[in-house]
């Protein structure tokens, strides 16, 4: 919990500085690339979180990895986190940053599960419907899930829209069990 609060505060601070200095896009791109690196390289993640590797060694390695490859503001932020011994929470800071950025920009991420891949036209129509319903820009992430059987489910924030055949069959079975059919 303590790391979550700290990550939130650092993310809020770097977001504010990035907006003020009109570098939000550059910092966002850097954080997206770092997020990908953290998700694809367990070694790098372990390196950041390792209490055995001293701060000076981490500074040297992080400088080699990021200097000249990320925006100057991003690089200074990484150096600051390392000098404060907070490089271990960089993954959480990145997640908090992305969530805060999306909220400020009116972007809502939604997950769509369907038994088969939707056509581009279906994806576009669904996106438009969700944009109207929420009043936000929707970024859809699609996942194939055979257990849906047909139709699809959409989840965003704490809302689930279930138009799956599976749920319709379950509702019908429940009605039969209750004797109302």
Is there a shared CATH topology between the 2-103 domain and the 106-178 domain? no
Give the whole-angstrom CA distance, residue 13 versus residue 23: 13
What does the mean pLDDT of the chain come to?
90
Q: In this structure, are strands 107-114 and 137-144 parallel, antiparallel, or unpaired?
A: parallel
The domain limits of the chain are 2-103, 106-178
Give residues with Cβ within 8 angstroms of 84, minimum separation 6: none
pLDDT for the residue 120: 92
Q: According to the CATH classification, is domain 106-178 in 3.40.30?
A: yes
Span 2-103 CATH architecture: Orthogonal Bundle (1.10)
Cβ(59)–Cβ(83) below 8 Å: yes
Q: Is it the case that residue 129 has pLDDT exceeding 80?
A: yes
Q: Is the pTM of this model over 0.95?
A: no
Residue scoring higher pLDDT (66 or 162): 66
Tokens standing for 37?
Answer: 């690196």
Gyration radius (Cα) of the chain, Å: 21
Query: For 72-124, what is each residue's pLDDT tens digit?
Result: 999 999 999 999 999 999 999 999 999 999 999 999 999 999 988 889 999 99
């Amino acid at each position: 919990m303590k790391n979550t609060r700290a990550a939130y505060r650092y993310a809020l601070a770097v977001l504010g500085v990035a907006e003020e200095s009109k570098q939000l896009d550059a910092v966002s791109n850097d954080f997206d690339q770092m997020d990908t690196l953290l998700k694809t390289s367990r070694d790098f993640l372990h390196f950041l979180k390792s209490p055995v590797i001293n701060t000076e060694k981490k500074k040297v390695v992080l400088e080699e990895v990021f200097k000249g490859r990320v925006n100057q503001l991003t690089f200074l932020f990484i150096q600051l986190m390392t000098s404060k011994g907070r490089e271990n929470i960089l993954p959480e800071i990145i997640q908090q940053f992305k969530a805060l950025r999306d909220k400020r920009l009116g972007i809502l991420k939604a997950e769509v599960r369907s038994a088969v891949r939707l056509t581009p036209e279906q994806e576009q129509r669904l996106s438009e419907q969700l944009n109207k319903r929420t009043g936000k820009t929707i970024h859809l992430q699609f996942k194939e899930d055979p257990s849906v059987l047909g139709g699809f489910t959409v989840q965003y924030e704490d809302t689930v829209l279930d138009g799956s055949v599976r749920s319709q069959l379950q509702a019908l079975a429940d009605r039969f069990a209750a004797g109302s059919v």
